[in-house]
Structure 1
Amino acid sequence: MSASRTERLLNLLIALLNTRYGLRRSELRDKVYHDTSGNDVAFGRMFERDKNDLRQFGFEVETLTELGWSEDDPATTRYRIGKESNRLPDVQLDPEEWTVLLLASQLWERAALGSAAQSALRKLQATGRTSEVQLPAGLQPRIKPAGQAFDDLVNAMHAGRPVTFRYLAGSTGKEEQRTVEPWGLGSRFGQWYLVGFDRARQAARHFRLSRLTSAVSIMERERYSPPADFDVRQELDRLPELPLRSAVVNVREGRLLALRRRALESVPAAPAPALPGFDRLAIQYRDPEVLAEELASYGPDAVAAAPEELVAAVRRRLRAAADFSASQVPRYSFPSARPRTARPRTSEDQLKRMLQLVPFLVHNQGLHIQEVASRFGITRKELEDDLRILICSGLPEGYPDDLLDIQWENDHVFITQDLDLTRPVRFTVDEACALLTGLETLNGLPGIAEGGALESVTLKLLAAAGQEGLRAASLSGPRIGPADASTHSVVRQAIEGREQLHLRYLSPQRDKVTERDVDPLRLYSLDNTWYFEAYCHLVEGLRNFRLDRIQDVRPNGRPAAADITPGTGVPAKLFTPNDDDTTIILQLTRQGRGLADDYYAERTAELPDGGLVAEVRFGNTAWLPMFVAQHGGAARILAPAEVADAAQDWLDASLASYGG
């Protein structure tokens, strides 16, 4: 969509909104399109495309005909857009409800629905300010990004398109091609599941996203309709958890303290004797693929001995990682350096944003232009480009007073003519799902679920979302309650009271336990894995600590320093960049391209096969061979050469432990 087309669609929308009796196609052609070509067929196609675009933005174009005449006669057919049918109802929220809603909107972060959640929030903010709302001190729960497959499945599900992918069946251990009509996505037992209709088996089936062995392909030319009463939450609640089983693992002497903490006292028999220089441990697990991912990352320091299903899963991951690392390096080039966004911005994004911008400015007069840009997540230049298009838009052949009137003199933005764009468009399916699923996810968060604000804001949003809100039943988020509520409570109280903490902490990368005094700054999560950011006096810098790796934590009686602030950015980052970081060039497959967001890539280059080359900064490169092995063929290191060679040596040694 070019800039001129963006402006044309905006003018068409304003014209159809501001007519009581409707406008004939000839009037629109003359006054909005300024088309004098005389080609009725070409104009008709353009008009139908534009009507479809407006429908995608939430505006339904009504067709009115003269009594006794057919819609096929353009001379007697008129078009308009109802002022109420496409608008978001007013939603009045008190400060407690705004607090809950802001937490819910931040949950998705870089996940597929992150931009949809922010878009929905801006629509709600258009009718009132939220500056007085204070989020709970240092609390930032988030949903862990589920990778490119999740993004593709959400897009296919909301568009009603079937998908195909290769899948490793847990019951047979065989990899098969599947064609599925996706009905819903949900998280249970720490894993994301797709529920859908398997066309080959002619029945509903569950698919664990971690078992997809290929990218998801969307069948763009086909459509399907899910069951009208489908609710993925109810469906996954009936899903039995996998039984606990025991694996036998040979662990190098004196290594892998984190794995040893989980070992059982008795070790079942294994088909092969213990390896020299290794201890034989018994580790409980439910899903062999999850444990295989962990064991693959340990490389030659941990060798699975039983059961054979687990051994094969580790070997398959290591082989895939080794094959990918040894493959030919693709040709690529980075664009000029710039902060990376979740996806490239499009003209469709611009028009959608402008339709939110007008009502936002109407109800938030006089904001500084940089604050407006920050609210919409764009640069000042992008905002000024939007405003320049808006001030040239208005009623067809209207007077100056019939144009949108927006001024930003002295860097403060005012709007005095809005042309009936004062209320936001109703929620899209993505927006409704993002907020309502986020609210449902907050149910397990201490201090939030107990109040009545969560329930009341959910009911208000359900009423405002209408039909789109009902489709939120196709998504169900993970449980985000912390596994260790007592540790979570101690850290949160220390943040609120500005107290210093003393902790004993197990660092898997260094494979040792250290004692530290820290000034806690903020708590955040990825699903139910919780972290806290703190100033660590041992290393004299900001660090992130996983709560489940804390062996002991208590206030040490000293106050936290008042001049230490959290790292920049909301939400908190798992990795804090430093000047002495090493720049690593990674190649990621289409399945693994989400890792570029997870590790805050500074530059990326697209590859023809849907993958990426990403430039990422790491403070410690010693663990990168573990990273490559863990992701089993989804990531490789291209540069520096010594780091790539270290990863290849790690994979070779790991495969040698399994017979080469």
Structure 2
Amino acid sequence: MSASRTERLLNLLIALLNTKYGLRRSELREKVYHDTTSSDDAFGRRFERDKVELRHFGFDVETVTDPGWGSDDPATTRYRIGKESNRLPDVVLTPAECTVLLLAAQLWEQAALGSAARDAVRKLQAAGGLADAEPPPGVQPRIRPAGQAFEDLVAAVHGRHPVRFSYLAGSTGNEEVRTVEPWGLGSRFGQWYLVGYDRARGDRRFFRLSRFTSAVEVLEKDSFTPPSSFNVREQLATLPELPVRQAVVDVARGALLGLRKHAAPAGDSADASDAVPPRPGFDRLTVPYRDAETLAEELASYGARAVVVAPAVLHTSVRRRLAAAAAFAAAPAPQIDFPEHAPAKRVRKRTSEDQLKRMLQLVPFLVHNQGLHISDIAERFGISRKELEDDLRILICSGLPEGYPDDLLDIRWDDDHVYILEDLDLKRPVRFTVDEACALLAGLQALNGLPGLDEGGALESVTLKLTAAAGEEGLKAAAVSGPEVAPKDSATLDAAREAIGAGERLHLEYLSPQRDAVTERDVDPLRLYSLDSTWYLEAYCHLARGLRNFRLDRIQGLRRTGVPAGAAAAPAGGFPEKLFTPTDDDAVVVVELTRQGAGLADDYYAERTAELPSGNLLAEIRFGSAAWLPMFVAQHGGSVRVLEPRALAEETRTWLEAALARYEPAPAARLD
């Protein structure tokens, strides 16, 4: 959409909103389009495209026909937009409901649903139904979507476009190309699943996103119709949990304490692995697991310190990850060139469509927030001051066809405080889009069971109110379902919350995976937050002399000391956006990410990014420990490699080669 088309659509919208009886096509052509050169057919096609575009923004153009005349006669057909049909209904929320809603909106840490949640909150603020509120003290859950595949699949689900991807079949272990009509996307058993119609197999299938071995291709020229009243959570509830299986793994003696915590010495079963004794310096352990791919991701990150003996499918899965990582690491390196002022995040180029969408939010926001400073408004909308001023300049030139000055939008900001004096019936927000309804409703659903929330109170009531306000779009939102963010074991969380509330120091016994050791430390607890159901304690660590984030499931012991927390424990601002506290000792690393792994740039808070001609992504990321980098590369199996520093890239290649050598020959042969 060009900038001129943005202005034209805005003026067309205002004209159709502010006519009681409707405007004929000839009137619109003369007064809005100022079109005197194109043919009637060409103008008709242009007008129909604009009607579709307005419908995309939530405005349905009504056709009014004079009695006795046919609707196919442009001379007797008039057009208008009903003032109520497209507007967000009034939503009045109590302070407790506002708190729960903000908690749900903040769940989506990254990705398109995060932007959609912010847009939805702005609409509620513009309607005057959302009071200022703060999240519950000490707790902030987050959902981390499953990378770029999640982004692409959400767009395909809501756009109703088929998708194509390569997939590692769990039943056969073979990699296959699938073409699927995506009905819904949801989380179960700690994994994200796509539910859809597999065109080659002619039936519904479930696809786990961690088994995707390629980027998702959205077939935008094709479309489909999903089943009516589809609910992905109900569909995923039919999935049986995988049975517990046993893997036989040789582990370096004295290493990998975290793995040993869940393992046991291998017994004297008649397993085929007994034919090959453990290598010198290794212990043979039995590791319980439900899914081979999940365990393979963990075991690959251990490199040469762990080797799968059985089953063969797990051995193959780990070897495949290590081989892909080693091959990518050994490939010719691209030229490293970050443009000046390279963005920290991958930012989709803003279009004039984004601008029109933003302006439609901006007018009602200004009506209900008169006199805000222009910089504050720009910050609220996540744009620069220049972009905001460009929006305002377009708005003040928009209005009724050939109207007088009083028929134009009247916005003033001469003293840097913005006031709107004439809104031309744009003062009420447009109804929720599918993405916006999905972000809020799926977020509220994920909060069930969260400590500190009354499920039968504000959470239930705000869900009912927003479902009613979302209407048909709320029904479509059932195509996406997030994970429940309640912790699996709330005892440690409850103890930490009590210490935070009392301002009391804690003594921790903590399993550090990087050190591969249990350390004891005193910490001043600050707050708790999560990614999905994995919870973290942010605290000032007296051992490290700085802020640190501790995973609750790695805390081996926790006790209150009775000592007041020190003044050094005061956090700098709101809830942390990162699970990593930068220091001067960090390793600054340049990595290359494939399109499949591009989401890691956001997950690990890249400081700079740049696209490569191949479609891959350069990212500059800080890591607290360079020693952890080979594990990170192996875990993601061919989606990421280290480019700089060169010495670290070489160390990573050597580490991967040593790990891969452990998997040659096959497990049935001798391993040492």
The residue number in structure 2 matching 1:187 is 187
The residue number in structure 2 matching 1:329 is 333
- Count, aligned residues: 660
Amino acid at match of 1:375: R
CA-CA distance at 1:451 after TM superposition: 4.6
Amino acid at match of 2:659: S
CA-CA distance at 1:389 after TM superposition: 1.7
The whole-number CA distance in structure 2 between the counterparts of 1:59 and 1:608 is 39
Q: Structure 1 residues 92 and 210, CA, compared in 2 at 3 Å: closer, same or farther?
A: same
The residue number in structure 2 matching 1:505 is 510
The whole-number CA distance in structure 2 between the counterparts of 1:38 and 1:150 is 43
Structure 1, residues 10-50: CA drift from partner, whole Å, max 9, x if none? 11111111111111222222222222324434433332222
1:90 is the counterpart of 2:94? no
Q: Which of the numbers 424, 427, 435 marks the counterpart of 1:422?
A: 427
The residue number in structure 1 matching 2:135 is 135
The whole-number CA distance in structure 2 between the counterparts of 1:341 and 1:577 is 21
Q: Is the 8 A contact 1:129 1:364 kept in 2?
A: no
The residue number in structure 2 matching 1:516 is 521
Q: Which of the numbers 301, 305, 311 marks the counterpart of 2:305?
A: 301
The residue number in structure 2 matching 1:207 is 207
The whole-number CA distance in structure 2 between the counterparts of 1:97 and 1:571 is 23
Q: Structure 1 residues 460 and 652, CA, compared in 2 at 3 Å: closer, same or farther?
A: same
Q: Is the 8 A contact 2:92 2:130 kept in 1?
A: no
Matching of residues 163-174 of structure 1 within 5 Å: 163-174=163-174
Q: Which of the numbers 290, 293, 305 marks the counterpart of 2:294?
A: 290
Q: Is the 8 A contact 1:137 1:495 kept in 2?
A: no
Amino acid at match of 2:16: L
Q: Structure 1 residues 10 and 247, CA, compared in 2 at 3 Å: closer, same or farther?
A: same
Amino acid at match of 2:295: L
Greater alpha carbon shift after TM alignment, 176-185 vs 556-565: 556-565
The whole-number CA distance in structure 2 between the counterparts of 1:567 and 1:530 is 20
The whole-number CA distance in structure 1 between the counterparts of 2:194 and 2:276 is 38
CA-CA distance at 1:463 after TM superposition: 0.5
The whole-number CA distance in structure 2 between the counterparts of 1:256 and 1:456 is 47
The residue number in structure 2 matching 1:655 is 660
The whole-number CA distance in structure 1 between the counterparts of 2:365 and 2:37 is 38
The whole-number CA distance in structure 1 between the counterparts of 2:195 and 2:13 is 38
Q: Which of the numbers 272, 278, 281 marks the counterpart of 2:282?
A: 278
The residue number in structure 1 matching 2:118 is 118
The residue number in structure 1 matching 2:669 is none
Structure 1, residues 463-516: CA drift from partner, whole Å, max 9, x if none? 100011111221111121112201111112222332221111111011111111
Amino acid at match of 1:170: G
The residue number in structure 1 matching 2:317 is 313
Q: Is the 8 A contact 1:523 1:532 kept in 2?
A: yes
Structure 1 residue runs of 4+, over 4 Å off?
567-571
The residue number in structure 2 matching 1:590 is 595
Q: Which of the numbers 613, 624, 628 marks the counterpart of 2:629?
A: 624
The whole-number CA distance in structure 2 between the counterparts of 1:571 and 1:467 is 35
The residue number in structure 2 matching 1:389 is 394
Instruction: Name stretches of at least 5 consecutive residues in structure 1 with no aligned partner.
Output: none
CA-CA distance at 1:142 after TM superposition: 0.6
Q: Is the 8 A contact 1:484 1:547 kept in 2?
A: no
Q: Is the 8 A contact 1:542 1:567 kept in 2?
A: no
The whole-number CA distance in structure 2 between the counterparts of 1:579 and 1:130 is 41
Matching of residues 215-614 of structure 1 within 5 Å: 215-267=215-267, 268=269, 269=271, 270=273, 271-331=275-335, 333-337=337-341, 338-340=343-345, 342-562=347-567, 564-567=569-572, 570-614=575-619
Q: Is the 8 A contact 1:153 1:182 kept in 2?
A: yes
CA-CA distance at 1:204 after TM superposition: 0.8
Q: What secondary structure, in the 3-state scheme, does the structure 2 residue paired with 1:32 have? A: helix
The whole-number CA distance in structure 2 between the counterparts of 1:481 and 1:193 is 19
Q: What secondary structure, in the 3-state scheme, does the structure 1 residue paired with 2:196 have? A: strand
Q: Structure 1 residues 588 and 390, CA, compared in 2 at 3 Å: closer, same or farther?
A: same
CA-CA distance at 1:130 after TM superposition: 4.8
CA-CA distance at 1:456 after TM superposition: 0.4
Greater alpha carbon shift after TM alignment, 37-46 vs 105-114: 37-46
Q: What secondary structure, in the 3-state scheme, does the structure 2 residue paired with 1:410 have? A: coil
Q: Is the 8 A contact 2:586 2:625 kept in 1?
A: yes
Q: Is the 8 A contact 2:111 2:145 kept in 1?
A: yes
Q: Structure 1 residues 119 and 465, CA, compared in 2 at 3 Å: closer, same or farther?
A: same
TM-score calculated relative to the size of structure 1? 0.97
The whole-number CA distance in structure 2 between the counterparts of 1:439 and 1:243 is 30
Amino acid at match of 1:426: R
Amino acid at match of 1:12: L
The whole-number CA distance in structure 1 between the counterparts of 2:228 and 2:95 is 35
Greater alpha carbon shift after TM alignment, 25-34 vs 620-629: 25-34
The two structures, once aligned, show a CA RMSD in angstroms of 1.8
Structure 1, residues 397-425: CA drift from partner, whole Å, max 9, x if none? 11111111112243322211110011110
The whole-number CA distance in structure 2 between the counterparts of 1:610 and 1:8 is 35
Matching of residues 95-110 of structure 1 within 5 Å: 95-110=95-110
Amino acid at match of 1:224: F
Amino acid at match of 1:363: H
Q: Structure 1 residues 251 and 555, CA, compared in 2 at 3 Å: closer, same or farther?
A: same
The whole-number CA distance in structure 1 between the counterparts of 2:346 and 2:567 is 33
The whole-number CA distance in structure 1 between the counterparts of 2:59 and 2:149 is 30
Q: Is the 8 A contact 1:8 1:33 kept in 2?
A: yes
The whole-number CA distance in structure 2 between the counterparts of 1:394 and 1:71 is 28
The whole-number CA distance in structure 1 between the counterparts of 2:578 and 2:482 is 21
The whole-number CA distance in structure 2 between the counterparts of 1:356 and 1:6 is 15
The whole-number CA distance in structure 1 between the counterparts of 2:166 and 2:346 is 29
Q: Is the 8 A contact 1:335 1:603 kept in 2?
A: no
CA-CA distance at 1:132 after TM superposition: 3.8
Q: What secondary structure, in the 3-state scheme, does the structure 2 residue paired with 1:443 have? A: coil
Structure 1, residues 535-579: CA drift from partner, whole Å, max 9, x if none? 111111111110000011122112223454335564531112234
Amino acid at match of 1:282: T
The whole-number CA distance in structure 1 between the counterparts of 2:314 and 2:299 is 10
Structure 1, residues 224-249: CA drift from partner, whole Å, max 9, x if none? 11110321111111110000011111
Q: Structure 1 residues 568 and 2, CA, compared in 2 at 3 Å: closer, same or farther?
A: farther
The whole-number CA distance in structure 1 between the counterparts of 2:482 and 2:304 is 36
Amino acid at match of 2:284: R
Q: Is the 8 A contact 2:95 2:131 kept in 1?
A: no
Instruction: Name stretches of at least 5 consecutive residues in structure 2 with no aligned partner.
Output: 666-672
Greater alpha carbon shift after TM alignment, 307-316 vs 258-267: 258-267
Structure 1, residues 100-148: CA drift from partner, whole Å, max 9, x if none? 1000001112033111111111111112275642221121101122111
Identity %: 69
Amino acid at match of 1:526: L
Matching of residues 5-44 of structure 1 within 5 Å: 5-44=5-44
The whole-number CA distance in structure 1 between the counterparts of 2:168 and 2:454 is 37
Q: What secondary structure, in the 3-state scheme, does the structure 2 residue paired with 1:37 have? A: coil
Greater alpha carbon shift after TM alignment, 228-237 vs 279-288: 228-237
CA-CA distance at 1:77 after TM superposition: 2.2
Q: Structure 1 residues 52 and 196, CA, compared in 2 at 3 Å: closer, same or farther?
A: same
The whole-number CA distance in structure 1 between the counterparts of 2:312 and 2:642 is 30
Q: Is the 8 A contact 2:90 2:129 kept in 1?
A: no
Amino acid at match of 2:124: L
